[in-house]
């Protein structure tokens, strides 16, 4: 029987391109499984095959556990019992006794065949994963093997298959059985049925990898891809920059007479590609990303992570693009929320905003319209800026001296204090409308950052534990009152 085992291992190894060690491991598990079926109880078995002779030995195993922790006598033994024959053994070790090896009768062969078949499949899957792990995120060539309604099965060679789902196909693309197709290996999923190699033709990374193949400077890391956004099959934007000042990154990606970008576009079913020059200056980067539209004004709001862009009224449609495509792709490329407006609209909005600020300054600082306008023109937009910037900031304004600046700051601080006081009173009044909340408790809640019933309803009793004089029961009562008011009250 030894020679037959060696022959089986050699044949499977050559036929399936699986290492012999994996085959012998599968055979050992198959023989162990067949051995366990000969016993009435579940036991632990180990089989060891001599890889040169093909002979094998079988061992029954017991796990060593504490004397008071024995739960399965068929697979466990106590430490004190094990140390009789094995003095050096410790808890967690295994002790073994050799038992008769199973004979290859009909039932044993059938069991071994089933286990071996499954283990060989598992080994093949592991090998496919190992071979393709390094290709993850790269473009691979495949052949359409089978078509379904919502997916295609691709043959990658060497018994490897991949799945290309319908939503990962560029719209209106059609492939027939036997067609060659380039795809991005985007993911490897292992489930009960084995690993699935997931492919895509719509991901931004696919376009980036196509440029990496087509443009040697990208492959050599002279040109760096800074971002990609796509509307698959329609249009895309790719931002690039050069690490060598002597090389024009846009020109290198476009190629002579557009040959390189055209090659990528053809692979993507004619997808139009804008090559954008990356710039460390965000305003310039926005301008480049919005091409072919010309940007006349940019307002960056870092607090809301938005950028307002003004273009000439006649170029508004071009800047937005069909169905908002141009601004949508630019937003995805920059990872900022871009809002495109006509110059006339932005001018009106800025004027309205300035008028609001001027009116606030006039009322709060007790100054006239012209003085308030001058402050706005010099970049002051809030009372906090007036109150807390260094006095030297004011001295750059014509006609301003230190005494006037100090007076402005005093007025601004008084206005802020009054505004905050009014806000506290307003918040207290809202909370006092709830049953169980008096003026003192309302003030404590406001000081803790709770300004209305909606915010109180979101609280838990632990959130109110720091409020002096408010125990857990009282906290629970007012929270439920707020929830009844905000969440459960009938219209």
- Mean pLDDT split into 10-residue runs, the chain, 491 residues: 66 68 77 81 84 81 85 85 84 86 68 68 71 79 84 80 86 85 83 71 92 91 92 92 90 91 91 92 92 87 89 87 90 92 84 85 85 85 86 82 86 88 89 87 88 88 83 86 80 46
Look at residues 261, 259, 263, 265 and name the one whose alpha carbon lies nearest to residue 276: 261
Q: What is the CATH number of domain 1-119?
A: 3.30.1480.10
Look at residues 284, 288, 290, 211 and name the one whose alpha carbon lies nearest to residue 254: 211
193-225 tens-digit pLDDT: 655 788 899 999 999 999 999 999 998 889 999
| Degrees, nearest 5: CA angle 16-18-23 | 105
CA 389 → CA 162, 278, 386, 445, distances in Å? 62, 35, 6, 31
Residue 24: per-residue pLDDT: 78
Structure tokens, 486: 């905000």
CATH T-level assignment (fold) for domain 136-202:
OB fold (Dihydrolipoamide Acetyltransferase, E2P) (2.40.50)
Look at residues 128, 258, 132, 237 and name the one whose alpha carbon lies nearest to residue 183: 132
Please name the helix (run of DSSP H) or strand (run of DSSP E) that holds residue 440, with its range, or none: helix 439-447
Please name the helix (run of DSSP H) or strand (run of DSSP E) that holds residue 317, with its range, or none: helix 316-320
Residue 259: per-residue pLDDT: 92
Residue 426 CA to residue 432 CA, distance in Å, equals 10
Residue 163: per-residue pLDDT: 85
Residue 387 CA to residue 193 CA, distance in Å, equals 68
In the beta sheet, which residues pair with residue 198?
163, 187
Measured torsion, CA atoms of residues 388, 390, 392, 398, in degrees rounded to the nearest 10: -20
Residue 331 CA to residue 239 CA, distance in Å, equals 12
Residue 143 CA to residue 199 CA, distance in Å, equals 12
- Rounded to 5 degrees, φ, ψ at 197 are -90, 115
Structure tokens, 236: 């895309």
Structure tokens, 40: 């009435």
Residue 253: per-residue pLDDT: 92
Spatial neighbors of 9 by CB under 8 A, at least 6 apart, are 20, 23, 24, 27, 51
Look at residues 261, 136, 282, 113 and name the one whose alpha carbon lies nearest to residue 195: 136
Residue 491: per-residue pLDDT: 46
367-396 tens-digit pLDDT: 888 888 888 888 888 888 888 888 888 888
* Cβ contact 215:228 at 8 Å: no
Counting every residue written for the chain, the total comes to 491
Please name the helix (run of DSSP H) or strand (run of DSSP E) that holds residue 98, with its range, or none: strand 94-99
Residue 248, judged by CB atoms within 10 A of its CB (0-12, 13-18, 19+), counts as middle
User: For the chain, first and last CA: distance in Å?
Assistant: 84
pTM above 0.85, yes or no: no
Q: Where are the alpha helices (DSSP H) in 195-305?
A: 204-214, 216-219, 249-254, 259-267, 282-289
Please name the helix (run of DSSP H) or strand (run of DSSP E) that holds residue 472, with its range, or none: helix 472-483
Asked if the domains 1-119 and 433-489 are classified in one and the same CATH topology, the answer is no
Residue 217: per-residue pLDDT: 92
Structure tokens, 359: 């009116």
CA 43 → CA 32, 39, 46, 70, 307, distances in Å? 10, 8, 10, 15, 69
Class of domain 433-489: mainly alpha
Strands 56-65 and 76-78: parallel
User: Where are the domains positioned within the chain?
Assistant: 1-119, 136-202, 433-489
Look at residues 55, 7, 66, 65 and name the one whose alpha carbon lies nearest to residue 31: 55
């Amino acid at each position: 029987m030894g020679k037959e085992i060696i022959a089986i291992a050699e044949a499977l190894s050559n036929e399936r391109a699986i290492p012999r060690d994996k085959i012998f491991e599968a055979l050992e598990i198959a023989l162990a499984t067949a051995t366990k079926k000969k016993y009435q109880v579940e036991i632990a078995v180990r089989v060891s095959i001599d890889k040169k002779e093909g002979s094998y030995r079988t061992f029954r195993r017991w796990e060593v556990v504490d004397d008071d922790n024995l739960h399965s006598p068929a697979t466990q033994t106590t430490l004190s019992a094990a140390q009789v024959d094995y003095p050096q053994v410790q808890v967690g070790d295994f002790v073994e006794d050799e038992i008769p090896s199973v004979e290859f009768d009909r039932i044993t062969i059938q069991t071994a065949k089933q286990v071996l078949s499954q283990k060989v499949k598992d080994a093949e899957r592991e090998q496919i994963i190992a071979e393709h792990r390094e290709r993850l995120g790269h473009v691979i060539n495949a052949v359409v093997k089978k078509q379904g309604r919502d997916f295609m099965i691709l043959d990658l060679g060497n018994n490897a298959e991949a799945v290309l789902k319908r939503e990962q196909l560029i719209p209106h693309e059609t492939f027939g059985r036997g067609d060659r197709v380039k795809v991005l290996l985007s993911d490897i999923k292992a489930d009960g049925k084995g690993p699935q190699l997931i492919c895509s033709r719509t991901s931004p990374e696919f376009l980036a990898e196509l440029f990496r193949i087509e443009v040697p400077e990208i492959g050599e890391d002279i040109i760096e891809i800074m971002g990609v956004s796509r509307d698959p099959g329609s249009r895309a934007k790719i931002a690039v920059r050069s690490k060598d000042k002597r090389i024009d990154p846009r020109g290198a990606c476009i190629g002579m007479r557009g040959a390189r970008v055209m090659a990528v576009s053809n692979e993507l079913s004619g997808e139009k590609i804008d090559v954008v020059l990356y710039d460390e200056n965000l305003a310039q980067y926005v301008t480049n990303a919005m091409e072919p539209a010309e940007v006349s004004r940019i307002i960056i709001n870092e607090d809301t992570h938005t950028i307002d862009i003004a273009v000439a009224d006649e170029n508004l449609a071009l800047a937005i693009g069909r169905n908002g495509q141009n601004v949508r792709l630019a937003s995805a490329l920059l990872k900022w929320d871009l809002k495109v407006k006509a110059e006339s609209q932005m001018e009106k909005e800025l004027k309205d905003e300035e008028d609001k600020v001027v009116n606030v300054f006039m009322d709060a600082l007790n100054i006239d319209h012209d003085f308030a306008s001058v402050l706005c023109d010099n970049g002051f937009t809030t009372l906090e800026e007036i109150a807390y910037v260094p006095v030297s900031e004011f001295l750059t304004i014509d006609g301003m001296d230190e005494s006037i600046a100090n007076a402005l700051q005093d007025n601004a601080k008084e206005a802020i204090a009054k505004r905050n006081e009014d806000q506290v009173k307003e918040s207290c009044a809202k909370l006092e409308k709830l049953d169980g909340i008096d003026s003192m408790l309302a003030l404590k809640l406001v000081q803790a950052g709770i300004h209305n019933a909606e915010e109180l309803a979101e609280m838990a009793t632990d959130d109110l534990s720091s409020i002096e004089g408010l125990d857990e029961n009282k906290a629970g009562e007012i929270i439920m009152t707020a929830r009844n008011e905000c969440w459960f009250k009938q219209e």
